[in-house]
Amino acid sequence: MGVLSFFLFLSCFLAVTHGSPSDCVGEPQGILPDPAKVSGLWNLIAVSLSPNAKYQLDEIAYVYTKVSFNETEFTFAVFSNPMSDTNGQLYRHERVPGTQAYKYISTEVLEEVYTTILFQPHPDILICYERANDEINGAYIHSRAASVPKEELDSFLEWSKCNNLINITVYNRTVNDAQECYDLFEHSEDLKDIEGCETWGLVAKASNYADRNYNIRMLYSAKLELCKTEEAYTVKEIQIVGDEKILMELKYENGTTGNKVKLQSFKTETDILLLGVLNEKQRTLFLASKTSKAKQTVLDDFEIKAHCFEAAFTYLVPGSKEEENTENH
């Protein structure tokens, strides 16, 4: 996704007001928000877009955002899964003098002028109204929590439909992503340290697609094989059910533009490998170890990371849980 199209659904923080947004009179107007109430982490709850918007719902990729706001400008960083090129990307806006609007400051030349105002019906709710060349283009409702009260969401949806923002998506979150996922993934140098080839016993994997190879009733083991030649990497996912079967083999060259494959390792415990793999639209998070086993605390942490990786399917390799030593008294 280009910088322009990605920006368009992200502009969102401007002015605070009081009252109900359900009246079909354009955006509510009011006073500028208190920076202490706006700055911080926010979960995206729902989006409504105009049929004429240049971007549509399937292009909206962020899950939560971190805002820094004052009377003259605001910036926000957007976050989704850690393999996204725009994860953590920062966007900057400046106040339009004499108005409540903030204008997006683009690094590209744009045909349209994008501005937004913000409505805050409650300190824990943030609603953003976007305009393109002074035409209402979209609206976004955020929450400090994982959800908003039904009456607030209904009011937002009613206002949206009244203003012809009829392309609507509501995200049914069960976890407070902003609190659970922020700063959870930290890049590591594990891949750079590889010399030749390394083999890791696979403990678990999480992905955004179903893998029938792991839905079998037979005992099996699995491993990852990582090889490095200068800046070129090869990764193999191998399942062992009697014989070895290569389930995946990908090649990746660091620094190459247009590469559809991406590898990224993340910091975790000693002798544990946490590896993210992106292959076009397929996204997988692997948990592996030198012993093919991991402690329950590591598995519990992986479960949280799998959610924040936006993985819908998680598989635990049989026998990979490390049993705790117990002493008889």
The first and second tokens of residue 271, run together, are 């002798």
Residue 92: name the closest of 102, 104, 100, 101 by CA.
Answer: 104
Residue range 87-112: mean pLDDT, rounded? 89
pLDDT recorded at residue 7:
46
d(CA 195, CA 228): 6
> Which of 46-50, 75-79, 114-118, 138-142 comes out lowest in average pLDDT?
114-118
pLDDT of 18 higher than 50: no
Residue type, 158: E
Residue range 146-161: mean pLDDT, rounded? 94
Q: Which domains does the chain have, with CATH numbers?
A: 3-177 (2.40.128.20), 196-316 (2.40.128.20)
Residue 59: name the closest of 4, 108, 15 by CA.
Answer: 4
pLDDT of 173 higher than 90: no
pLDDT recorded at residue 239:
96
Alpha-carbon radius of gyration of the chain: 23
Grade residue 29 by pLDDT with cuts at 50, 70 and 90.
Answer: low
Q: Which string of DSSP letters, residue by residue, matches 38-51?
A: HSEEEEEEEEEE-T
> Which of 84-93, 226-235, 286-295 comes out lowest in average pLDDT?
84-93
Q: How many CB atoms lie within 10 A of CB 6?
A: 20
62 phi, psi to nearest 5 deg: -90, 150
pLDDT of 263 higher than 70: yes
**By three-state DSSP, how is residue 322 classified?**
coil
Q: How many CA atoms lie within 13 A of 228 on its CB side?
A: 13
Alpha helix stretches (DSSP H) within 68-212: 150-162, 177-181
Grade residue 99 by pLDDT with cuts at 50, 70 and 90.
Answer: confident
Contact 37, 16 (CB under 8 A): yes
Counting DSSP H helices and E strands in the chain, the numbers are 5, 17
pLDDT recorded at residue 234:
95
Q: Which string of DSSP letters, residue by residue, matches 64-100?
A: EEEEEE-SSEEEEEEES-TTSTTTTEEEEEEEPTTSS
**By three-state DSSP, how is residue 136 classified?**
strand
pLDDT recorded at residue 9:
45
pLDDT recorded at residue 27:
76
Contact 20, 121 (CB under 8 A): yes
Residue range 83-105: mean pLDDT, rounded? 90
Q: What angle do CA 60, 61, 64 make, to 5 degrees?
A: 110
Name, in order, each residue with C-beta under 8 angstroms of 308's C-beta and a sequence gap of 6 or more: 81, 82, 177, 180, 181, 184, 185
Q: Tell me 58's DSSP state.
A: G
